[in-house]
A and B are shown apart, each in its own frame.
Chain A
Amino acid sequence: MEQVTFKEFYDFLLEGKLLGLKCLDCGAYTCPPKAVCDNCGSRNLERAELSGRGRIATFTTTYIAPAGYDKEVPYTVAMVELEEGPWIVGRLEIENADEIGQDLIGEEVEIGGKEYPTEMFYPDKKRRVVPVFRLLRTF
């Protein structure tokens, strides 16, 4: 049984690598990592690097920020379906998401990481690493 801590997950993300777990029983990928396979519940897992590519499943541009995030608005949060199946939440690097609208759904992206200052309630007290999605084509 192998595991990936959240610190390792975000350390790798800052280097442009997406780390997850592959299930040796059912073959499914779990990303971000957790204690068991997200598909079958097995703990027979091995660490695996994912391709770091996926497609936008949905997104929203946030105009009203929670305390601690006010300097970052407006920002666009997206959910990306990874090539290997899992979905992850991150920020879409784009200025005009609302003008493009629903056409962004299905667009291919590449995943990286960007460091932000942490905030009072965030679990990592040193930094906040945000998964960042870059569109493979421009609009």
Chain B
Amino acid sequence: MDKRDVAVLGVGQTRFGYHPDKTLVDLFAEAFYEAFSESNIELKDIEALYYGNFVGEMTDGSANLSGFIADEIGLKGIPARRYEAACASSSVAFREAYLAVAHGIYDCVVVGGSERLYNAGTAIGTRALATAVDGLHEMTAGLTFPGVFALAARLYSKKYEVPMDKLHEKMALVSIKNHKYGAINPKAQFYNKFGDLKVEDVLNSKVICSPLTLFDCCPMTDGGSAVILASADFAEDVVDNPVYVLGTGQSGAGGLFRQREDMVRAIPRKKAAEMAFKEANLTPKDIDFVEIHDCFTIAEIIATEAMGFFEYGKGADAVAEGVTWIDGELPVNPDGGLIGKGHPVGATGTSQIYSVVKQLRGEFSYNPVKNAEIGMTDTLGGDFGTLVNVILGIHRRR
């Protein structure tokens, strides 16, 4: 069956950071109403809710959230569902929402997510995040999320024969870049903070899981994000500046121990990106900028390779040579990424969509990518276990 073109009507995002006084519902509602206010539609136009949340049970004692949220924000009785795919929760939700509209099931839906990990504290937050590794065979050893990427960093160093200390210096540049951009993003957790880090600051910060230090890691974050999607025909009737969904892809893998040395090549990401490029009828060369899942510095490097932007083993050089900075050939994470902007897990995917849409509409004044027409998101759930890529553009798919 042919798919209809689908477009974004509106996007919303809360300030990322510490929200002790707002529930998961409140955070979603705030993001939703921002998206709704720029969509030129009525509440009754929204036919379904797709909600991403990772660990509401552990941080807030809440599951079964989607129905409560629909009711609280004035969408009484519409079909509402929650998606859980660790850090990719709202990206999986976005792709499902996109497919439903593309296949004519709905004309207009809302998708987004919310999470409260900062408020949960480091010990609970770390344990909650670790529920995304294999709960039996990896968790027994106490493998944590920084641990997963520390394992990947050492393997990357070995596999591509880059001495670990040299690799770490290049990884530090990812942190410096993303903090620089996060520090000028008013919605980022680290707005006005850490905008001028030096390599030594990253290398000498507290070791979390060797070799990764505090500044190699994204923070624990509370936040929400939302996107209103509709068929392109519907969208063109109600807004002047629809942003079109050109392609999406999703793939997955088992635990890290099943992926073995492939973990540094992130095979599910390669498959998901290829699926998105194929649907969009585009290649990596056509992409003007990307919002990538930089949960840790090494993660951004591995991602740029697996998505096809650089050869395997060359991603670390790309950041060192300036290619992924705002004036480079492929700006990566102009919104600060997870490292600079924050990572409210279930809200992260649709916040990447938020940034890409703002950028494509020319509303990203604090860190604009020049002449951007096509942007891409990349969200990783778990230890390379769920991968979602989305390509967005200002023109309909050719």
Contact = CB atoms under 8 A, between A and B. Distances in A.
A88 to B, nearest CB: 6
Contact of A105 (B129, B134, B142, B158): B158
A59 B144 contact: no
A128 B140 contact: yes
Contact of A131 (B126, B140, B211): B140
B163 to A, nearest CB: 8
B151 A68 contact: no
A121 interface: yes
A90 interface: yes
B141 interface: yes
Contacts of A130: 140-142
A37 to B, nearest CB: 12
A84 to B, nearest CB: 13
Interface residues of A, number: 41
A89 B136 CA distance: 10
B196 interface: no
Looking at A61, A79, A97, which has the most chain B CB atoms within 10 Å of its CB?
A79
Given A63-B209, A77-B143, A38 B258 contact: yes
Interface residues of B, number: 43
Interface string A58-76: 1111111111111010010
Nearest to A90: B141
Interface in B104-151: 122-124, 126-127, 129-131, 134-144, 146-147, 150-151
A32 interface: yes
Contacts of B137: 6, 32, 88-89
Nearest to A64: B208
B157 interface: yes
Interface in A71-122: 72, 75, 77, 79, 81, 86-91, 97-98, 101-102, 105, 121-122
Given A58-B155, A60-B151, A123 B209 contact: no
28 contacts: A6-B136, A32-B137, A57-B260, A58-B154, A58-B158, A60-B147, A62-B142, A62-B144, A66-B127, A67-B123, A69-B142, A72-B142, A77-B147, A77-B151, A87-B258, A87-B260, A89-B138, A102-B154, A102-B157, A105-B154, A122-B139, A122-B140, A128-B140, A129-B140, A130-B140, A130-B141, A130-B142, A131-B140
Given A64-B144, A89-B138, A123-B136, 5 more contacts: A79-B257, A87-B260, A89-B256, A122-B139, A129-B140
